[in-house]
Amino acid sequence: MKVFIATGMMLVFSVFLYAQGPVKALQVGDRVSDAFWTSPRNFIVDGKVVRKDMQQFRGKPLIIDFWATFCIPCIKGMPEQERLSKLFRGKLNIVSVTTDNEKLVSTFYSSERNPIGRDFTSIVDDKELNSFFLHNKIPHLVWIDNQGIVKNTTDGDALSEANIKAALSGNLSLSPLNYIYPNTVLMMNRNPEGMQSFNLLIKGRIPGVSSSTFRSNGANTGMIIFNHPLRWIYTVLAMGEYPWFSDQRFKLDFDEIDGFNNPSLKPEDLWTVDLWVPKEKSALLKKLTMKYLNENSGYSAAVKVINTAVYKLKYLPSKATRQLKTKGGQPANLGFHKGSKFINQPIANLINDIQDCGFVKYPVLNGTNLDFLIDLELSAVKDMAGLNIILNPYGLFLVADHQELEMLVINKTDKTN
């Protein structure tokens, strides 16, 4: 994993939940308190709430599974979790925990969504355990040994027979998940006082998170993109920076493209970028993030005018057998799908829909000179011939051509990537 830190600041992990007062969050290596075991909690057992503590789990390894009734992966994993719980009964305990209230969980228990029936049990309406073990997504597992020491934090995929055996023998060596605090620089629990900027670029998957967001805190604003291929990150930035940009106007000027495109989402070729600036520069966030990637990723993006293959959308009203001009009505645009509607829309939206078709490899340009809104009947389509079959009755047709055009060109600047 490569880390580039423009500020030179040390990355630290905090044991306090930022902006929520004195709640003490536990880290790997910490021992849970006596109150962890003795505090009464609400358990759903046989569909009803039972008030009891966790003393029965003390003295044996414990896995806490954070889940929710809306979490499909959590629910899909319940049968295997139940199998493992029975397989290792007497050696290890697995306890499910959710912030969902009694009503939600009781309804889930009685529904066909519950895949394990009467075997289902969980702590419900939890506040404290979620504060002790901070996490960014679910399912989230916390591994605690027989001495009450937090040994690891993992995502739900780590719950396996092999990993449980490794944990029981003291040899579980998975990398712990890091909690990402909201609206703060990555890997820190608060923005440093007087911070002017913060830039961080990581190559390699960060377990437990996958999202993109704009953030704001005090005098700073930031943008973070987690765990994506570089092509995807550059695409997001270009779409915000260049009104003309589409995926067809993306040109890679090097041969070894798999690591950059990463279509199979290999963990080692995922990237995370975090960039913060003063709020008065918030309009420049995407431009500055692209500049930062150019300087540090081993790749460089630049807009160049080049002669490229294109498709031009033409309009010949004399060839039309169906009315193109809109009849009015509620605007609708569902793209090229079965039963799709395209009503009361500008021609630019049709061009966007065409470019969204995966088989369209070149930029699509508007050569129609249309100045009115249009209606079309669209459907699913697989190739260019199919596109023209849909468009031709309206006097529209796509033709192949070449043109000088602005393109986002990516060059490789560092052969180690």
Do residues 157 and 46 both lie within one domain?
Answer: yes
Q: What is the pLDDT of residue 22?
A: 44
Residue type, 17: L
- The residue from 250, 267, 298 where one domain ends is 298
pLDDT higher than 50, residue 350: yes
Asked, for residue 320, whether it belongs to a domain, the answer is: yes
Asked, for residue 17, whether it belongs to a domain, the answer is: no
The set of residues, in sequence order, having a beta carbon less than 8 Å from that of 33 and lying 6+ positions away, is none
Task: Retrieve residue 136's tokens.
Answer: 């960014």
Q: Give the CA dihedral 189, 191, 193, 195, nearest 10 degrees.
A: 150
HEC letters along 347-377:
HHHHHHHHHCCCCCCCCEEECCCCCCCEEEE
**Which of 99, 39, 66, 41 is closest to 177 using CA atoms?**
66
CA distance 302 to 409: 5
Helix (H, G, I), strand (E, B) or coil at 305: strand
Do residues 270 and 316 both lie within one domain?
Answer: no
Q: Report the DSSP pairing between strands 62-66 and 93-97.
A: parallel
CA distance 199 to 6: 5
* More confident of the two residues 266 and 209: 266
Q: Report the DSSP pairing between strands 140-144 and 150-155.
A: antiparallel
Residue 121 C-beta-side C-alpha neighbours within 13 Å: 16
CA distance 9 to 352: 43
pLDDT band, residue 207 (cuts 50/70/90): confident
Range of the domain at 294: 198-298
For the beta carbon of residue 221, count every other beta carbon within 10 angstroms: 20
The set of residues, in sequence order, having a beta carbon less than 8 Å from that of 163 and lying 6+ positions away, is 172, 174
% of the chain beyond a pLDDT of 70: 93
Q: What is the pLDDT of residue 414?
A: 73
pLDDT band, residue 188 (cuts 50/70/90): confident
To the nearest 10 degrees (0 to 180), the angle between helices 230-241 and 285-296 is: 140
Do residues 125 and 229 both lie within one domain?
Answer: no
User: What CATH number should be reported for the domain holding residue 120?
Assistant: 3.40.30.10
**Which of 141, 122, 124 is closest to 133 using CA atoms?**
141
CA distance 185 to 221: 10
387: left (phi over 0), alpha (psi -120 to 50) or beta: alpha
**Which of 183, 121, 171 is closest to 143 using CA atoms?**
171
CA distance 188 to 11: 6
The pLDDT of 198-214, averaged and rounded, is 84
- The residue from 298, 320, 339 where one domain ends is 298
Q: Look at the block and give the residue holding tokens 């993992």.
A: 154
What is the total count of domains within the chain?
A: 3
Do residues 396 and 352 both lie within one domain?
Answer: yes
Do residues 282 and 336 both lie within one domain?
Answer: no
Asked, for residue 16, whether it belongs to a domain, the answer is: no
pLDDT higher than 80, residue 264: yes
Among 177-186, 267-276, 308-317, the range scoring the smallest mean pLDDT is: 177-186
The pLDDT of 111-132, averaged and rounded, is 95
- The residue from 264, 298, 332 where one domain ends is 298
